[in-house]
Amino acid sequence: MTDMRQRTTNVTAYGDLTSPEVPGALDGATLVWPVGGLEQHGPHLPLSVDFDIPDALARQVVADVGGLLLPGQPFSARSLPQSGGGLHFPGTVHIGGGTFVDYLTHCLRALARLEPARLVIINGHYENEGLLFEAIDGCEPATTFPHTEIVAFSWWSLVEDEWLGKHVPEFPGWHAEHAGLTETSLMMYLRPEVVRAARPTHATPPPPGVYRHPVDVDVMSNQGVLSSTTGAGAELGEKLFWHVLDGITRTLSAGPAHPAPA
């Protein structure tokens, strides 16, 4: 079922609208916002992984629902040692959590004024998730977004256990799937031209929900890779991409959990 599906990358961008076009284009529209990061992903993957994956998913969602693509949010919430290697490796550009919540809140309030029918937010950076949800909830969406359904998620949240059991039998937890099998495979499918030949693997991923100081970077990771990359390939990345897309389609077609008041 996942074979031979064609990705769409060229979609209608919100930024290409003119001001007079906005009210008509937004009437009944779905806005899709990729929220990414710029973070070290070992010696084989580019810094933009956490942006590239939600951006590709967002483009496909926009194409599938006839929506509009918002410019992606490019920077990371602070990378933490046990879920992203932290700041022990060069390249990560991050925004502190309090400022990130403020920044997202301002973005959300501005988006609310557009009154789209639906706002879909796709997160690609592990440490963003709680802050993103706090920003949305903190806006008091019942008041701020009275006419807009909001669906926000990290892409990995839509990967089903059955899929993982079949394709990632040694699954270390999503905190440790950092530059590991799933991200490497997705990047080999989405942007093979930027994936380097090195394939470091790390046999002892850090446990979830544990922070340690002092941290031994060489015990925690292998060159910034937190888990196994063994078996990574474009074919697995393609399967995973369309599995997540199917999950997004199901999530969106399920409709609001609680209908908005009339």
Which residues in this chain contact Zn ion in the complex, by CB under 5 A? Answer: 49-50
Catalytic residue among 52, 55, 127, 129: 127
Catalytic residue among 39, 52, 55, 149: 39
CB 238 to Zn ion: min, Å: 18
The encoded tokens of residue 166 equal: 């079949």
End-to-end CA distance of the chain: 39
Output 59 or 178, the one with its CB closest to Zn ion: 178
Output 50 or 129, the one with its CB closest to Zn ion: 50
Residue 16 known to be catalytic? no
Residue 50 known to be catalytic? yes
Output 60 or 154, the one with its CB closest to Zn ion: 154
CB 259 to Zn ion: min, Å: 35
CB 136 to Zn ion: min, Å: 21
CB 237 to Zn ion: min, Å: 13
Amino acid identity for residue 131 in this structure: L
Q: Give the distance from CA 124 to its chain's centroid.
A: 2
Residue 52 known to be catalytic? no
Instruction: Give 136's contacts (C-beta < 8 A, 6+ positions apart).
Output: 104, 108, 121, 150, 152
**Cα separation, 187 vs 52, whole angstroms:** 8
Catalytic residue among 175, 178, 202, 238: 178
Residue 39 known to be catalytic? yes
Residue 41 known to be catalytic? yes
Residue 125 known to be catalytic? yes
Instruction: Give 138's contacts (C-beta < 8 A, 6+ positions apart).
Output: 101, 105
Helices (H) and strands (E) in the chain, counts: 10, 6
Q: Which residues are catalytic?
A: 39, 41, 50, 125, 127, 178, 183
